[in-house]
Amino acid sequence: MKIVVLDGYGMNPGDMSWEPLADLGELVVYDRTSAGELMERARGAEALLTNKTVLSGDTLRSLAGLKYVGVLATGYNVVDVDTARELGIVVTNIPAYSTDSVAQMVFSHLLSIVTRVEHYTAENRNGRWSDSPDFVYWDTPLHELSGKTFGIIGLGNIGTSVARIARAFGMKVKAFTSKNPAELPEGVKKVELDELFRTADVLSLHCPLTDGTRHIVNESRLKLMKPTAILINTGRGPLIDEDALAKALNAGSIYAAGLDVLSCEPPRRDNPVLSARNCFITPHLGWATVEARERLLKIAVDNLKAYISGAPRNNVAV
């Protein structure tokens, strides 16, 4: 069986071994694959593995020998699943591999915003503390998390993990979720969406991207938020209307935002949040810890083994 990894660099820039996949067949790994290179590289493969390389319906129909697509991520919108189902192509994803890593990124952003460790480190490297007449200085607001209200939109695996950590910090947790109140973790209160925007000191996004959640953070809802509120997004970029967020930050309508995802990745240079006041942005790193990527690769291998054995697992094209 020929196995082709279309864009392996994002998941494995060289610090992990592809050998477990190579043990399953003839393996070819490409760092990146452009649209113009796709057909030539995919032709003859029974199994394609992709992270962000798009496999449209037309592409799937043109690859007669293709029987399996492994998405190296949880989201699988890069594959035309309806066409794959029609053609009998198995499409698998990687669920729940990065829960702890993404939850950690939420609090990396939050703690960075409320303590500004990087800012003070840079200032001290430039001699500011050494030149200070006092034993201490600060020029940013410093706040405790304990007692604040942490709001969560979406209470799946990651949202639930984030709720647990927020409670460990002594925060009150509210959530907008489809779950019944009886199903919620201990200490989590279910509320309506507008109440969540009005009352949250920190608001973190963990819902899937759908037509109903696209721009769930928009101009009207940003106006509901406290001027001291902090918005965190480690979910999907299009959950936020970025023009509206930039305006709210620059006007001081909300205090800060920590974003690990944007609506277009990599972003255009003119994306307004890149230069917005108190907007802290990381390049979609939440999933990328060594431990999470090792789990991802193991699950990808296990998915392919299950397909080979005739009992596919994590098949989203059913």
Which residue spans within the chain are E strands per DSSP?
2-5, 26-29, 47-50, 68-71, 90-92, 149-153, 172-176, 188-190, 202-205, 230-233, 256-259, 279-281
**Cα–Cα dist 13/285, whole Å:** 14
Q: Residue 210 burial by CB count (10 A; 0-12/13-18/19+): exposed, middle or buried? A: exposed
The pLDDT tens digits for 196-228 are 999 999 999 999 999 999 999 999 999 999 999
pLDDT of 192 reads: 97
The pLDDT tens digits for 30-45 are 999 999 999 999 999 9
Output b/e per residue, 4-28; b: 16+ Cβ within 10 A.
bbbbbebbbeeeeebebbeeebebb
Is 214 assigned a catalytic role? Answer: no
Q: Which of 41, 215, 284, 313 is catalytic?
A: 284
Is 192 assigned a catalytic role? Answer: no
CB 265 within 8 A of CB 238: no
Give this prediction's pTM.
0.92
Q: Which of 206, 236, 293, 295 is catalytic?
A: 236
Is 206 assigned a catalytic role? Answer: no
Q: Which of 26, 37, 192, 265 is catalytic?
A: 265
Q: In what order do the strands lie in the sheet with 68-71?
A: 26-29, 2-5, 47-50, 68-71, 90-92
Query: Token pair of 103, please?
Result: 């939850």
CB 205 within 8 A of CB 180: no
pLDDT of 116 reads: 96
The pLDDT tens digits for 251-265 are 999 999 999 999 999
Query: Token pair of 309, please?
Result: 């054995």
Residue by residue, pLDDT tens for the chain (318 residues) are 999 999 999 999 999 999 999 999 999 999 999 999 999 999 999 999 999 999 999 999 999 999 999 999 998 999 999 999 999 999 999 999 999 999 999 999 999 999 999 999 999 999 999 999 999 999 999 999 999 999 999 999 999 999 999 999 999 999 999 999 989 999 999 999 999 999 999 999 999 999 999 999 999 999 999 999 999 999 999 999 999 999 999 999 999 999 999 999 999 999 999 999 999 999 999 999 999 999 999 999 999 999 999 999 999 999
DSSP state of 268: P
CB 72 within 8 A of CB 11: yes
